[in-house]
């Protein structure tokens, strides 16, 4: 049991820092992603590839693990709602009250100061611009939820999954296929505003139910029939196939059977990536400390605006080089680790 617990903790912690790494890499991609409000140097194709590798399975893995860890044949609804309030809703609300304003303040600093370089830096003007940007976004798109989108999904998934004691495998596959079938993009687009994007909703629900199915079928250590090397080879082949077709789609080039190859390679690379990563974490020897495990979720909640602040700092300094995103990652995660460590000692 301890071996299983350490393995799952390793998966949660490592995957979380992989997601934080994505936050630190996105502005330095060559592809104009449209997610960040700025791009910075160095723009290297290798960073695009690394983001593709990380993004190809890490969110699916998180959703799958959530289904695995929240599995129960049935939980009384009052207890379930109480649990979700404490585990998801309350921490997310507390974090968003700080991080969402920080994101808009960062955007205001970029648009009003870094781009125009006025002779006088007006804090009052920066705050007014941030409020205006937030108001405009809310009016045009709805409430911004940024990187918290998956928490809304998780809340819905936990409540929906509690309707039935067991979910057969064919239902899991059906949700995956449904999400891919109604998806008109090459990738699954995640919402950044308070809205439902049905391809993402169904697709990730398939992974959530897969986690529950693995638990109900007693896959205690994620022991799949394929070994680690086989999973990695399958993952890399399908990821390469997905990358080639996605590049062609973004370049407006037509490749044969794109409407079939893209969803097929997307889901197989995600599934094989999850399997490879899970088995890799089983074989690892390191054990996450209690402190690291406990604050893992909080690191992700607060990470995005901290990473952006450091990115804007290096952008203003004119810093370039591959060391920039690496240093952004070390500084942003290091600041949060230090903050929560000090906070823990002061309690």
Global pTM? Answer: 0.92
How many structural domains is the chain composed of?
A: 3
* Domain co-membership, 106 together with 137: yes
Task: State the DSSP string of 171-201.
Answer: HHHHHHHHHHHT--SSSPPPPSBS---HHHH
Residue 62, in any domain of the structure: no
Of 288, 315, 339, the position where a domain reaches its end is 288
Domain with 247, as residue range(s), is 221-288
User: What pLDDT does 339 receive?
Assistant: 96
Angle (nearest 5°) at CA 127 between 125 and 131 = 115
Residue 313, in any domain of the structure: yes
Residue 218 CB coordination number (10 Å): 6
Write out the chain's pLDDT in tens, 347 residues: 566 778 889 999 999 999 999 999 999 998 876 668 899 888 889 999 999 999 999 999 999 999 998 887 677 888 888 888 888 889 999 999 999 999 999 999 999 888 887 877 788 999 999 999 999 999 999 999 988 998 889 999 999 998 888 889 999 999 999 999 999 888 898 888 988 999 999 999 999 999 999 888 776 545 555 678 888 999 999 999 999 998 888 777 778 888 899 999 999 999 999 999 988 888 888 888 999 999 999 999 999 999 999 999 999 999 999 999 999 999 999 999 999 999 988 87
* Domain co-membership, 156 together with 235: no
Residue 31 CB coordination number (10 Å): 16
**89-108 as b/e: b if 16+ CB within 10 A:** eeebeebbeebbebbbbbbb
């Amino acid at each position: 049991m301890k071996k299983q617990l350490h393995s799952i903790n390793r998966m949660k912690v490592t995957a979380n820092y992989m997601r934080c790494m994505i936050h630190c890499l996105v502005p330095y991609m060559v592809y104009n992603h449209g997610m960040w409000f700025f791009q910075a140097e160095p723009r290297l194709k290798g960073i695009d590839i690394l983001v593709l590798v990380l993004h190809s399975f890490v969110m699916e893995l998180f959703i799958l693990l959530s289904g695995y860890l929240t599995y129960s044949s049935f939980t009384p609804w009052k207890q379930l709602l109480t649990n979700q309030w404490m585990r998801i809703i309350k921490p997310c609300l507390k974090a968003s009250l700080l991080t969402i304003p920080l994101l808009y303040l960062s955007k205001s600093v970029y648009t009003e100061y870094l781009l125009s370089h006025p002779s006088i830096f007006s804090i009052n003007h920066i705050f007014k611009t941030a409020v205006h940007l937030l108001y405009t976004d809310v009016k045009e798109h709805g409430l911004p939820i940024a990187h918290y989108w998956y928490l809304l999904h998780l809340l819905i998934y936990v409540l929906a999954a509690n309707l039935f004691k067991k979910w057969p495998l064919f239902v899991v596959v059906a949700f995956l296929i449904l999400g891919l079938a109604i998806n008109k993009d090459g990738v699954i687009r995640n919402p950044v505003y308070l809205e439902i994007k049905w391809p993402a909703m169904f697709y990730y629900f398939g992974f959530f139910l897969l986690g529950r199915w693995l638990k109900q079928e007693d896959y205690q250590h994620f022991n799949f029939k394929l070994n680690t090397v086989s999973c990695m080879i399958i993952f890399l082949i399908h990821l390469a196939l997905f990358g080639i077709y996605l590049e062609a789609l973004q370049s407006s080039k037509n490749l044969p059977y794109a409407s079939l190859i893209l969803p097929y390679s997307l889901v197989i690379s995600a599934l094989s990536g999850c399997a490879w990563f899970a088995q890799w974490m089983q074989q690892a020897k390191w054990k996450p400390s209690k402190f690291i495990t406990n604050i893992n979720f909080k690191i992700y909640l607060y990470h995005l605006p901290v990473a952006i602040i450091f990115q804007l700092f290096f952008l203003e300094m004119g810093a370039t080089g591959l060391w920039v995103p690496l240093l952004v990652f070390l500084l942003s995660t290091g600041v949060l680790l230090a903050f929560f460590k000090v906070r823990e000692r002061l309690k």
